[in-house]
Structure formats: C-alpha cells, structure tokens
Amino acid sequence: AQKITQTQPGMFVQEKEAVTLDCTYDTSDQSYGLFWYKQPSSGEMIFLIYQGSYDEQNATEGRYSLNFQKARKSANLVISASQLGDSAMYFCAMREGMDSSYKLIFGSGTRLLVRP
C-alpha cells in the first residue's frame, strides 16, 4: 500500500490566490514526521515545512501552512497569496519512527502552475 498519496498530479492557481495541495499518509507508527518540499525545474529540493505527529498546532512558515488532520491522516499544504515563483513540483514526504529511521518516503508529487 502506498504510504504517501498525492492525488493531484497538476494544479492551477491564479496569482495572489491561495491554493491547497493534498497529501494523505498511511502509517501504524505513533511517532512520525511529515514534510513538504518544493522542486523547481532546476531540480533542487527545497524544504518548506515540517509537522511532527505530536505537534498539537498546525505548522506555519511564512506563506506556507500545513493543515494537519491526524485522525484523517492528512497533511495538506496551503500556500497563501500565490506568486509566479511558486510554480514548481511539490512533494509530500513522511519519515516513520523517532529513533533510527532515516528514510523519507515521498509521494508522487503535485505540479503547481501559477497563472498571472
């Protein structure tokens, strides 16, 4: 079974509007971490935001916020006030376990295109 599911292969958003990128995950661990990365066409993976499974509040980093719904096992990324430079591939990723697990499991990604 897929561990990380991103159901939106592609999304459009108008500049200055907000957009939500969906991510659902599957794990039996109580401790895990959820990440969002942005990958522009240049190829570099840019860390955006992190949510720990025990964090009670939704993570926020500037224009990025994570809508964490633990019972639903979803961790959607919300980008507010979209900019043209936000056009990129976005990956949701999960790391299971808190001790010796180093592996990031990535979703298949969502390609976001911001329209002027």
Partner 1 sequence: DAMVIQNPRYQVTQFGKPVTLSCSQTLNHNVMYWYQQKSSQAPKLLFHYYDKDFNNEADTPDNFQSRRPNTSFCFLDIRSPGLGDAAMYLCATSRTGSTDTQYFGPGTRLTVL
Around 55, how many Cα atoms within 13 Å sit in the side-chain half-sphere? 16
Cβ at position 90, least distance to partner 1 in Å: 11
Q: Which is nearer to partner 1, 75 or 109 (CB)?
A: 109
Report the greatest alpha carbon distance in the chain.
Answer: 45
User: Which member of 14, 44, 60, 115 binds partner 1 (CB under 8 A)?
Assistant: 44
Token look-up 């043209």 returns: 84
Measured distance CA(8)–CA(77) in Å, rounded = 12
**In this chain, which stretch among 13-21, 61-69, 76-84, 98-106 interacts with partner 1, using CB under 8 A?**
98-106
User: Which member of 14, 47, 69, 115 binds partner 1 (CB under 8 A)?
Assistant: 47
* 42 contact partners, CB below 8 Å, separation of at least 6: none
Interface with partner 1 (CB under 8 A): 33, 35, 37, 42-47, 50, 52, 91, 98-104, 106-109
